[in-house]
Structure formats: C-alpha cells, structure tokens
C-alpha cells in the first residue's frame, strides 16, 4: 500500500484486501481513525511524546516535527511530561509551513494528579493550552486515579521522601472534566490507568453527562489486559495502549531486570514470518484487538517503518500465539504510589 502525506491529513491511495478487511472489522475510515462513543474520531496509531529526563527537550521537538512529516496526526502529551511548549512549537511550525492545519491534529492532554480537586481541573487544562498555543484539546484525560497534594510540585513529598497523597472524589473530578467539554476547551474526555472498579464508579455516577471515550493503560504482549479490554468494549469505551513495545526502559519508572519484550523469541519468529520487525508485530497485535496504540521514536526511519502497521494482517493463529506470551507483567514501577486508596490494580 502506498502512503501519501497530504497537506490536510494522512491519506491512503489504495487498500490491500487484508487492510480492507481490517478496516471493516475495526470500523476504521480511510485515514485509519476510529469513532469514539461521543461521535468524535481518533487516529488508531499515535505518537507518544513522553521522554526520560536525560533526553533533551529539543530532541522531542524535532521528533514531533518528523512524526508529523511522516504522517502522524495523533499526538499524545501530558502536563507532567514538561515538554508541551516544545511539542507546541513543533506543531505550530508545521502549521505555519502548510504541512497541516490545526484541525488535522488530534492532541491528547492529561490532567495531572495534583489538579484532581474539581476547582483545579480547568487550571491544569488552561496551562496546557497556553503552552501549546491551542484554543482546545481534542482529548483531555485524567492521567491516573491517584490524587496528590495540590501545589507547584508535581510529585509532592514529605520529609521522608514519600509522596503526599490527597483524597478526592473522582466523580467530582469527572464533573469538572465534563464542564471543560461544555466550555468548548476540549472535544472529548477520558481516563488513564483506571481499573474496572474505577471505571464503574464514573459510569454509575448519578447525573453522568458524558462517559469516558477511552481508558489509556499499559498494554503489550506481556500484559494483554484481556478483562479490562472486554469490560471497556462492553461499555463502548476504547482501550488505548502505552508501553506497547515494552517501554523505553526509563530508569525512573521501569525495573531494569524485566525482560525486553522486543527480544522475545516468540515475537521474533512471527516477525520473521511476515518479514516485519518485532515492533511492527507488537503494534499490529494491539490494533487487531481493537486497541488504539501509541509508540515513540526519535528516528525518522523507525517512525516511517511503524507506519507500515496498516499494510499487513496477523493470522488468527499468530494472534493466539502472541496471546500466549501474556505474563501479567507490568513494566511501569508505581511503587511510590503504593498505599494510595485509588492505587490501580491489574484486573487479571
């Protein structure tokens, strides 16, 4: 399949039989977008902007520009990443040179844990909008359900170096998210790192106006999140995968003793069979499960390569083989949050 990046948005000039079948099953349009429960569309493949501290922000800015040039229109960011100014500059530059228009970009922002109190929600959103130089976000999600003490510190700690938790009724936080949507500051709202119990708390809230459009969670062949995926599908909520390639091995969050997903021989054998990279197979696996998938790279070659994810289809047998790789193993070390009343647990 030939990819043509137009000034408006990513287009496909022709579909293979497998790609057409996949689009029909996933209800993807020609731009590889999925309709969410509020009627808005989200590109099925997204570019993640999180970078470890040692990576210079300028690299993230350049990588974002390259991603847009390659054809990415879905960009995932967050207040806590500390790079929204850089990402915003990259997007504004590509708008200025005519590569894209603002409406071509689907940008996700996230409500950080120190802003969970309902009176603080809009403040976090407005700070992101100012940094990005946007009038609205396409998607605004609660970054995680674990509230932290409000203030200027993103990770407030006590004298012993332990995180200072806050206790907030997330249903009230959600009402403030709904108000942001009503104000036209965001088009869609969702959550991240929520388990089934926490999703039910929002869905069963009296007077619920908008239900979450998606739940962004860690998801990869070692942590396939089957029960959570089934629940979300039953409620018409999309699941979105981060760490889809097994994480960036960030020392701050990842246990360095954990196995490297992309070096798994099972994944390698399947990749060889299709003459694709293990990364492409891992991404394709999630798409065929109906999951929106994020990934990050600083190199043009990998960005271009991973756009080939729409050019092939894994067989049912190979999907089952990858299913069998599941270890219920999380790469993200959330030990600092242990003890929090809303600590998310793996539902499987």
**Cα separation, 281 vs 272, whole angstroms:** 10
Q: Which residues pair with 17 in a beta bridge?
A: none
Note if the pTM is more than 0.85: yes
Q: Check if the beta carbon of residue 123 is closer than 8 Å to that of residue 153.
A: no
CATH, range 3-337: 3.20.20.100
Element (H, E) at 241: strand 238-242
> How far is residue 46's CA from residue 44's CA, in Å, rounded to a whole number?
7
Active site residue 81: yes
204: DSSP letter: T
Q: Which of 10, 22, 81, 285 is catalytic?
A: 81
Nearest to 126 by CA among 179, 175, 169: 179
pLDDT at 247: 64
Q: Which of 4, 8, 12 is nearest to 32 (CA)?
A: 12
Q: Residue 316 CB: number of other CB atoms within 10 A?
A: 9
pLDDT tens digits for the chain (348 residues)? Answer: 333 222 233 333 333 454 444 444 556 767 799 999 999 999 999 999 988 766 666 689 999 999 999 999 999 999 999 999 999 999 999 999 999 999 999 999 999 999 999 999 999 999 999 999 999 999 999 999 999 999 999 999 999 999 999 999 999 999 999 999 999 999 999 999 999 999 999 999 999 999 999 999 999 999 999 999 999 999 999 999 999 998 655 565 556 667 889 999 999 999 999 999 999 999 999 999 999 999 998 899 999 999 899 999 999 999 999 999 999 988 888 888 999 999 876 544
């Amino acid at each position: 399949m030939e990819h043509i990046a137009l000034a408006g948005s990513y287009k496909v000039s022709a579909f293979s039989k497998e790609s057409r079948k996949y689009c029909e099953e996933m209800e993807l349009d020609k731009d590889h977008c999925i309709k969410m429960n509020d009627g808005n569309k989200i590109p099925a493949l997204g570019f993640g902007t999180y970078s470890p501290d040692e990576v210079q922000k300028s690299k993230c800015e350049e990588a974002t520009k390259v991603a847009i040039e390659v054809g990415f229109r879905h960009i995932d960011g967050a207040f806590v990443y500390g790079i929204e100014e850089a990402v915003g500059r990259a997007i504004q530059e590509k708008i200025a040179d005519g590569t894209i228009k603002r409406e071509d970009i689907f940008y996700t922002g996230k409500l950080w844990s120190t802003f969970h109190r309902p009176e603080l929600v809009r403040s976090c959103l407005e700070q992101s909008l100012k940094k990005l130089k946007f009038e609205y976000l396409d998607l605004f999600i609660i970054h995680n359900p674990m509230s932290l003490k409000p203030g200027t510190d993103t990770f407030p700690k006590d004298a012993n170096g332990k995180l200072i938790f806050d206790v907030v009724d997330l249903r009230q936080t959600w009402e403030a998210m709904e108000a942001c949507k009503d104000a036209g500051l965001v088009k869609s709202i969702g959550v991240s790192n929520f388990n089934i119990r926490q999703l039910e708390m929002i869905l069963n809230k009296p007077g619920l106006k908008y239900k979450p459009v998606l739940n962004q969670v860690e998801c990869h062949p070692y942590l396939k999140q089957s029960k959570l995926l089934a629940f979300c599908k039953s409620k018409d909520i999309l699941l979105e995968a981060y760490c889809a390639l097994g994480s960036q091995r960030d020392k701050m969050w990842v246990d360095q003793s954990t196995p490297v997903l992309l070096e798994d021989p099972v994944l390698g054998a399947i990749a060889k069979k299709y003459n694709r990279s293990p990364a492409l197979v891992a991404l394709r696996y999630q798409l065929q499960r109906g999951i929106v998938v994020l990934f990050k790279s600083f190199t043009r070659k990998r960005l271009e390569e991973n756009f080939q994810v729409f050019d092939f289809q894994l067989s049912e047998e190979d999907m089952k083989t990858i299913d069998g790789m599941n270890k219920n193993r999380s790469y993200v070390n959330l030990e600092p949050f242990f003890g929090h009343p809303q600590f998310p647990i793996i539902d499987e």
